């Protein structure tokens, strides 16, 4: 059922039809973008599980396949992400290879990644955040270097991605937050580090791990509302003033009688 749910929402983005969903918009926008780039016209109905898209027009068939391929690609990225994370933490090649081997044959990951779902997209950003955090920690001996800034910024981008797909992404925000607090506490206890330098460390983390994710998160919703400008099944959840901005809505551009 979930594939019909999120596949239909991807089509809504292609058709610019407004809808309402409990999850943040990034995952559905990426699904819609994958379909749009494939030339999919957003006409496949996604009515019920088991619908045969092969009997649909060519663009619809190819669009559904490429949306699935997009999710499968993000799901497959979990293997190298896990490998690099374990290798960085343990410095053990056998441990990293074993982790990757286990994930390759994990039935849950394989199943979730072969359909149009939010889960592989969410796991991609979750693992990306953990990997970036671990890589940033490994650069602790060369703070403010190009690699340090890169991994710290990528951690913030991954946090925004995780929160933008599902709210359970807040758990990785908690993980990165606890790691950051521990890191700052350790720096504060370093008597050889001046307060000015500690302030720079604090400011860098506020910028990359708080301000950057929040800015990206708000930008996702800005794009969401800019793209979905046509009346659809989600109109009724919003005020009449909002509905009046949607093309095709009964309240669109209605003038107030004098």
Mean pLDDT, the chain cut into blocks of 10 residues (258 residues total): 81 89 93 86 70 54 76 94 97 96 93 90 97 96 95 98 96 97 95 93 98 98 93 83 83 65
Q: How far, in Å, CA of 20 to CA of 233, rounded?
A: 7
Task: Report the pLDDT value the prediction gives residue 90, as an integer from 0 to 100.
Answer: 95
Task: Report the pLDDT value the prediction gives residue 213, as an integer from 0 to 100.
Answer: 98
Q: What is the largest CA-CA distance in the chain?
A: 78
**229 and 18 Cβ atoms separated by less than 8 Å:** yes
CA 15 to chain centre: 21
Q: How far, in Å, CA of 122 to CA of 128, rounded?
A: 10
Q: How far, in Å, CA of 245 to CA of 64, rounded?
A: 30
Task: Report the pLDDT value the prediction gives residue 91, as an integer from 0 to 100.
Answer: 94
Give the residue from 89, 107, 87, 110 showing the smallest Cα distance to 97: 87
Task: Report the pLDDT value the prediction gives residue 182, as an integer from 0 to 100.
Answer: 96
Task: Report the pLDDT value the prediction gives residue 58, as an integer from 0 to 100.
Answer: 44
Indicate the SS3 state at residue 17.
strand
- Concatenated DSSP letters for 160-223? HHHHHH-GGGHHHHHHHHHHHHHHHHHHHT-TTS-HHHHHHHHHHHHIIIIIHHHHHHHHHHHH
Task: Report the pLDDT value the prediction gives residue 239, as an integer from 0 to 100.
Answer: 83
| Alpha carbons within 13 A on the beta-carbon side of 105 | 5
Q: How far, in Å, CA of 199 to CA of 237, rounded?
A: 45
Task: Report the pLDDT value the prediction gives residue 50, as an integer from 0 to 100.
Answer: 63
CA 156 to chain centre: 12
Give the residue from 15, 16, 56, 13 showing the smallest Cα distance to 31: 13
CA distances 141 to 88, 129, 148, 178, 187, Å, are 15, 20, 9, 20, 12
The 3 state secondary structure assigned to 152-164 is HHHHHHHHHHHHH
């Amino acid at each position: 059922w979930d594939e019909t749910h999120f596949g239909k929402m991807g089509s809504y983005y292609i058709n610019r039809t407004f809808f309402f969903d409990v999850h943040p918009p990034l995952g559905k926008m990426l699904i819609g973008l994958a379909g749009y780039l494939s030339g999919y016209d957003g006409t496949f109905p996604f009515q019920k599980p088991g619908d045969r898209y092969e009997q649909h027009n060519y663009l619809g068939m190819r669009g559904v396949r490429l949306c699935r391929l997009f999710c499968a690609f993000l799901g497959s990225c979990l293997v190298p992400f896990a490998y690099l994370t374990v290798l960085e933490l343990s410095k053990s090649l056998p441990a990293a290879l074993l982790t990757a081997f286990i994930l390759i044959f994990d039935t849950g990951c394989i199943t979730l990644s072969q359909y149009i779902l939010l889960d592989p997209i969410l796991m991609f950003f979750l693992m990306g955040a953990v990997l970036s955090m671990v890589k940033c920690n490994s650069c602790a001996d060369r703070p403010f270097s190009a690699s340090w800034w890169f991994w710290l910024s990528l951690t913030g981008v991954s946090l925004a991605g995780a929160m933008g797909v599902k709210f359970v992404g807040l758990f990785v925000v908690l993980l990165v937050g606890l790691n950051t607090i521990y890191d700052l506490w350790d720096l504060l206890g370093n008597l050889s580090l001046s307060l000015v330098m500690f302030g720079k460390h604090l400011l860098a983390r506020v910028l990359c791990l708080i301000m950057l994710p929040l800015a990206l998160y708000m930008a996702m919703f800005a794009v969401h509302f800019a793209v979905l400008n046509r009346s659809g099944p989600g109109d009724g959840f919003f005020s009449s003033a909002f509905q009046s901005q949607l093309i095709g809505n009964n309240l669109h551009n209605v003038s107030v009688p004098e």
